[in-house]
Amino acid sequence: MAVDRDHVLRSAAALLTRRATATMDEVAKAAGIGRATLHRHFAGREALVRALEALGIQEIEAALDAARLDEGPAEDALRRFVGAVEPAAGLLAFLVTENQLFEDGVHAGWSRIDARISALFRRGQERGEFRIDLPPAWLTEALYGLIGACAWSIQDGRVAAKDFTYMTTELLLGGVRRGART
């Protein structure tokens, strides 16, 4: 019987976004396969996490493409991105806290993602939409943090999933919008 690698990765992502410390045995069980089968596809946790990183980068880049970041006001583009990234929010939350991914330098995919999101914030600053006293790199990191926090709050049942885009964008934009004092 052939093992569907995408199914295994998505099962692992679903489990690890809820329980980052899940064992390989638990990952195998969640995917409906044996530990030996899982180990044939992923030599260990590090290999699995690296494969999840590749999946996460792929999904986030697809969300960036879908959001059409260069169109219209930066605020609208940000809302489109947050809405598009919602299905991958839990995986993103897991990946940005997985320290082993950043020990040997940053994967080029993260650099591409950071550059695209930072460019959105920079565009908003240049057009007078966003405050200029906070660097785009920091705003990008703050966005990741809010996406992760909202994903975890939804998983824990503390907030409604239908409010993901609204809660994330409104909290960030409340601090990012250019106001009379900035």
CATH number of the domain within which 15 lies = 1.10.10
Q: Show the tokens assigned to 148.
A: 């992760």
**42-75 pLDDT tens trace:** 999 889 988 999 999 999 999 999 999 999 999 9
Domain membership of residue 89 (yes or no) is yes
Domain membership of residue 138 (yes or no) is yes
Q: How many domains does the chain have?
A: 2
CA 101-103-107 angle, to 5 degrees, is 50
Domain membership of residue 120 (yes or no) is yes
Domain of 159, CATH number, reads 1.10.357.10
Domain membership of residue 18 (yes or no) is yes
Confidence (pLDDT) at 172: 92
**7-34 pLDDT tens trace:** 899 889 888 888 888 999 999 999 999 9
Nearest CA to 163 among 97, 89, 94?
89
Whether residues 84 and 17 fall in one domain: no
Range of the domain at 2: 1-43
Global pTM reads: 0.86
Whether residues 138 and 55 fall in one domain: yes
Whether residues 83 and 115 fall in one domain: yes
Whether residues 70 and 32 fall in one domain: no
Can you name the residues that pair with 130 across neighbouring β-strands? 177
Whether residues 133 and 168 fall in one domain: yes
Domain membership of residue 181 (yes or no) is no
Return d(Cα 146, Cα 85) in angstroms, integer: 12
